[in-house]
Structure 1
């Protein structure tokens, strides 16, 4: 009678823990660095602060433009404002006026 003896291998015992470690590390990495992970939360908060500052700047510019446009309405037309806008647009000054050249700024 022939009998076969199989040698017990310990590698079978390591397969399940190795697979569990791989899955846990994969999901752990993506829980921290993924699109909606923990680290992304801080990036989104920093981006929100940056965009809020930009929004405040744009709102301030809009308020300033609305104020300047309000001065050009018929009922409250200010001649100085109209004269300033016309001279700036046409790039004209009178012969008896002193002209100071300034670099263009983004607000104008």
Structure 2
């Protein structure tokens, strides 16, 4: 009766560890450099902080505008003053008006 004996090769023992190392390196690389990796989360955090500062600035501008509108709409101003403010803000005038520019303003 014939039996085959295989020599154990060193390559046979290394196949599973090499494949495992390849899979692990793939997942480690993508956990750092991938779309949801460490670098992407760092960039996201920076953009979030920039957007929070923009939001704070816009909120303060909005509050200033709301106060200005509240002062204009409380009835204490005359119609001429409101009309003047609107024309100045919108840069409009009537055809029969004359504009004099003052460089000191």
What TM-score, normalized to structure 2?
Answer: 0.71
Q: Matches of 2:45 and 2:88 in 1, distance apart?
A: 45
Q: Return closer, same or farther for 1:59/1:22 CA change in 2, 3 Å cut-off.
A: same
Aligned-residue Cα RMSD (Å) equals 2.8
Q: State the match for 2:101 in structure 1.
A: 99
Deviation at 1:56, TM superposition (A): 1.5
Deviation at 1:4, TM superposition (A): 4.5
Structure 2 residue runs without a partner (length 5+)? none
**Which 10-residue stretch deviates more, 43-52 or 67-76?**
67-76
Q: Which has the higher contact order (CA 8 A, sep 6+)?
A: 1
**Is the Cα–Cα contact under 8 Å of residues 72 and 82 in structure 1 kept in the other structure?**
no
**Is the Cα–Cα contact under 8 Å of residues 33 and 39 in structure 1 kept in the other structure?**
yes
Q: Return closer, same or farther for 1:50/1:88 CA change in 2, 3 Å cut-off.
A: closer
Deviation at 1:64, TM superposition (A): 2.4
What TM-score, normalized to structure 1?
Answer: 0.69
Q: State the match for 2:75 in structure 1.
A: 75
